[in-house]
Amino acid sequence: MATSDRQSLKATLDALATRSVSPSELVDEALRAAARRSEEGAFVAIDEEPARDEALRPRPGPLSGVPVAVKDMIDVAGLPTRGGSAA
C-alpha cells in the first residue's frame, strides 16, 4: 500500500491493522512529507529519531502507529513552543 499526504485516517488504520504498512513505513513517509513542507516554513522542528524509535514500539491505543504533527503552540518536551511567533 502506498500512503499519501491525503490518505484518510481510516485507510491508515486499516492498513496498519492488516499489516500492509508498518508504523516505521508511515513514520518514514511522514518525515519525507514534513521535509518537503519545511521548505515552506510549515514545521519549526522535526524530531526524527524519537519518531522512528516510537514506530518500533507503538504504544497501545486507537491511534497506535499513526504519526502526528503537533502545532508549536502545544508544549512538547524538548521541542520549541512558539505559538506561531518567531520570538
pLDDT at 84: 67
Given a cut of 80, is residue 3 above it in pLDDT? no
pLDDT confidence tier of residue 1, bands split at 50, 70 and 90? very low
Give residue 14's identity as a one-letter amino acid code: D
- Determine the Cα–Cα distance for residues 69 and 56; give it in Å rounded to an integer: 18
Give residue 80's identity as a one-letter amino acid code: P
pLDDT digits (tens, 9 = 90+) for 5-61: 567 999 999 999 999 999 999 999 999 999 988 888 888 889 999 999 999 998 999
- Determine the Cα–Cα distance for residues 30 and 87; give it in Å rounded to an integer: 27
- Determine the Cα–Cα distance for residues 40 and 27; give it in Å rounded to an integer: 20
